[in-house]
Amino acid sequence: MRAAVLSAFDSPVRLTDVPPPVAGPGEVVLDVAVCGVGLTLERARTGALGGSTPRVVGHEIGGTVAALGPGVTGWAVGDRVTTSFYLVCGRCRWCAGGRETLCDNWGGFIGVHVDGGLAEQVALPAHGLVQVPDEVALDDAAIAADAIATPYHVLTARAPVRAGRTVAVIGAGGGVGIHVAGVARAFGATVIGIETDPTKAAGLQSHCDEVREEAGDLRADVVVDTVASRASLTAAVGAAAKGGTVVVVGFQGGVTVELDPTPLVLEEVTITGSRYASRADLMATLDLVARRRVTPVIGARFPLSDVEGAYRAVQDNAVLGRIVVDIA
């Protein structure tokens, strides 16, 4: 079958012929319809997320069940599904408590530590799958599973928002950022998008209540930093209103910031982070999409034959919203 393969860290991802996967115990094989491509894949390409090569990449997957491995129950050939990005045990206290991204026995990422979904077929753990509602297209489901579920987790579990609150999004034009805006608006918040790229900023006007180049004197109840650079983290803390919460979503190893604790005490500002999303979050996110409360933003599409073009688009950082690769 055709697959996008990273043969060595820091080399280009190339379309390659590989043997089709076989469903092992507890696994299903999917016919992949579509797979999202974002900055996480570019970071994985460089080796920043660990794992090993050669590796079939890709984790934002929409597809249909093609085969069941030994011991798999509850799924049938033809079921429309997406998957969690994380390999988790399902048994530890974090998994049992619905916070499986903190799993004590975390097994890594799909498309980084095991083969992923930028391919005609992929074998995945059945316990990580989520059913896609009939009303949701598989391309929307694919990006909902990361680019929308991640913001859903931020705005429900880490900094719950309700109508009337103000949410600022740093890096609002990115694949996750634009969906932070979409989910925040679905919850009735006023959204300030902060985006330095002028073309993306122009495209964001219809997705945010206001778009700014920098935070400046902004004071928001929730500040979501999807960039997590030294400059953006400093701006995020400065943009939190009294009683506000700063949530760091992206991260880059080795970035440090100086912090004046005064607003943490005198204004009870909270600084926290948010790690991906649970399967329950994925299900709730798909429900929001099914009910047209949140609209997935797909900024560019590529065929699998031009997967290198999809990576170039990520590296150029010029696409508003998410990039998808059509497999079928």
Q: Which is nearer to Zn ion, 99 or 230 (CB)?
A: 99
Q: By rule CB under 5 A, what count of residues binds Zn ion?
A: 5
> Exposure string (b/e) for 195-216, b if CB count within 10 Å is 16 or more?
bbbeebbebbeebbeebbeebe
Using CB under 5 A, which of 89, 137, 255, 318 touches Zn ion? 89
Are 159 and 243 spatial neighbours (Cβ–Cβ below 8 Å)? no
> Which region, judged by CB under 5 A, interacts with Zn ion, from 67-75, 81-89, 239-247, 291-299?
81-89
Query: Which of 239, 231, 236 has the alpha carbon at shortest distance from 255?
Result: 231
If one asks whether residue 87 binds Zn ion (CB under 5 A), the answer comes out as no
- SS3 sequence, 30-89? EEEEEEEECHHHHHHHHCCCCCCCCEECCCEEEEEEEEECCCCCCCCCCCEEEECCEECC
If one asks whether residue 102 binds Zn ion (CB under 5 A), the answer comes out as no
> Which region, judged by CB under 5 A, interacts with Zn ion, from 2-10, 77-85, 91-99, 236-244?
91-99
If one asks whether residue 95 binds Zn ion (CB under 5 A), the answer comes out as yes
Q: Which is nearer to Zn ion, 39 or 280 (CB)?
A: 280
Q: Which is nearer to Zn ion, 6 or 103 (CB)?
A: 103
**What 3-state DSSP class applies to 320?**
coil
Using CB under 5 A, which of 3, 23, 35, 103 touches Zn ion? 103
Residue type, 68: L
> Which region, judged by CB under 5 A, interacts with Zn ion, from 7-15, 96-104, 140-148, 306-314?
96-104
Using CB under 5 A, which of 49, 92, 283, 284 touches Zn ion? 92
**What 3-state DSSP class applies to 138?**
helix
> Which region, judged by CB under 5 A, interacts with Zn ion, from 2-10, 84-92, 156-164, 246-254?
84-92
Sign of the C-alpha dihedral, residues 98, 283, 52, 64?
A: positive
CB 210 to Zn ion: min, Å: 41
Residues making contact with Zn ion (CB under 5 A): 88-89, 92, 95, 103
